[in-house]
Amino acid sequence: MRFRHRAVAGFATLLLPLAGLVGLASPAQAATSATATYAKTQDWGSGFEGKWTVKNTGTTALSSWTVEWDFPPGTSVTSSWDADVTSSGTHWTARNKSWNGTLAPGASVSFGFNGSGSGSPANCELNGGSCDGGTTEPGDSAPSAPGTPTASDITDTSVKLSWSAATDDKGVKNYDVLRDGSKVATVTGTSYTGTGLTAGTDYSYSVQARDTADQTGPVSGAVKVRTTGGTTEPPTGDKIKLGYFTEWGVYGRNYHVKNLVSSGSASKITHINYAFGNVKNGQCTVDDTYAAYDKAYTADQSVSGTADTWDQPLRGNFNQLRQLKAKYPHIKVLYSFGGWTYSGGFGQAAQNAAAFAKSCKAVVEDPRWADVFDGIDIDWEYPNACGLTCDTSGPAAFRNLSRALRAEFGQDYLVTAAITADGSSGGKIDAADYGGAAQYLDWYNVMTYDYFGAFDKDGPTAPHSPLTSYPGIPQAGFNSADAIAKLKAKGVPSEKLLLGIGFYGRGWTGVTQSAPGGSATGAAPGTYEAGIEDYKVLKNSCPATGTIAGTAYAHCGSNWWSYDTPATIAGKMSWAKNQGLGGAFFWEFSGDTANGELAAAIDSGLS
């Protein structure tokens, strides 16, 4: 996927839940407890807007509050409201105004400020206490994390959970039970029976201990539960219809999870790959945390029709995907890591494949969104070959990485990979052991596109996603049929191969020849990147004038484009079925029309 560069967000609003902070009373008063949380509500690059919220979580009134924190050098408060903010070096102190210092039990108050720099608060204190939401009693530590719950007695509408107890220096009072990241019950023992569930639905449960001072400890690991009954899953053997959803599409492209509903595409696909997680220091990481799990959606923007609140545990794309799966229970979602831009970290990951796999599972199974993802997709461009950077991990590295992922994730998760479609002799398919790795993976997304484009600015013009070879093709083996044949020859089962479709075109300018093979002077203009344009634009701005090798091309003015249409997709899907392939996938949803005509063509072509 040559053109997949991550867009830069216009701004990022990052909710940083700092640990709870202690509200001190005088020795004669009963102990009270309080928390303070920080949110960066706006960010304009050189500066930002921050907000602190102080909440009285105790049973007695709080008569005053003082919040203190440290900023790193270069970050400072420039103005504030609803508190008196002062500083000593990099240490900042905010005291209540005369009118907002008293907080009844359960009440909260917020104050805000404008800041310069890019740092975040650290070492926060409230009324001199530690940042743990505890009491005034010295040395009272928060409880430990309970054990990961185990599920039993699962029915259509209920499940029983049990877990090992947490520990605390002064005693555990009770446990909060979290379902899909939200508290649904508080119990005194180490078991809970959840009722009123929906049949045939996935849930994620975790627990969190509270001590006698009402301090909460870390959240336990999560257990995934699927209730019995409900919607029947697509029959085994049905073709896979998978689309990539880009994390950064919520910015300039203004494409959101709800667009999958409004376009009708959600009812026509079986799987979504969420792109992309990053690979840093040999580990999987969330890339854009704001888009992934913090961006707030209004009621009209959300899949469920319910607006996000500022304090809900999960927002952003992940929460919208959760709502999508509730509406379309047949859809499975995989978290895709790597891509063209982020593949440079796979070499280090391959040096300790087991540690890499463990880090990936920790991201996928994060208690806040463990129910959202059904598997992991690895998009390494390219093992033991060159992409944006060159990898020298050796031919066995990809197989070893795949084996480690399967060992870590087990059989309950999908483990897949997007791979090269270079079918040339001695090309990228020959550089890694894709045949040996196939035994550990559910399927391969074979990237049968981006073969030719204006990265060769002088041409010759050629379709970027040819299904077959043709006389005059610029490079032998650069077509879908040759790539699929080579993978089959290496022992990859046909049903583990998905044919790739691009929902975009590649084009040149300075072209006078309508037929393929003409010379050019550079890349044709594109909305987001020169030489690339969405199908939804090209179908009107430069309609197809011919077809070659199973895909369409268009010559309009001095520009020459190639792209797939509903008609060429129908032909490719027929070919895929005849080859016994497992289905098809596409890059990516936002290139389609508002009514999802390309996704519909894949669906009807594989049905």
Residue 381 is among the residues annotated as catalytic for this protein:
yes
Q: Which two tokens stand for residue 279?
A: 């690979």
CA distance 286 to 276: 8
**Amino acid occupying residue 206:** S
Asked if residues 508 and 524 have their Cβ atoms less than 8 Å apart, the reply is: yes
Which residues touch 458 (CB under 8 Å, ≥6 apart)?
A: 519, 520, 521
- Residue 318: CA count within 13 A, CB half-sphere: 30
Residue 326, φ and ψ in degrees, nearest 5: -65, -35
Nearest-CA neighbor of 52 among 125, 120, 116, 113? 113
Residue 540, φ and ψ in degrees, nearest 5: -105, -40
SS3 label, residue 312: coil
Nearest-CA neighbor of 319 among 291, 285, 287? 291
| Residue 63 Cα to chain centre, angstroms | 43
Between vectors from CA 401 to CA 398 and to CA 405, what angle results, nearest 5°? 140
Q: Which two tokens stand for residue 281?
A: 């220091």
Q: Which two tokens stand for residue 563?
A: 């792209």
CA distance 263 to 603: 14
Given 381, 533, 588, 597, the catalytic residue: 381
SS3 label, residue 388: coil
Separation in Å, CA 426 to CA 353, 379, 460: 26, 21, 23
- Bridge partners for 586 per DSSP: 243, 501
Asked if residues 473 and 479 have their Cβ atoms less than 8 Å apart, the reply is: yes
Separation in Å, CA 121 to CA 78, 114, 116, 124, 127: 15, 13, 13, 7, 16
- Bridge partners for 446 per DSSP: 419, 499
Q: Which two tokens stand for residue 161?
A: 């959970």
* Catalytic residue numbers, as ranges: 381
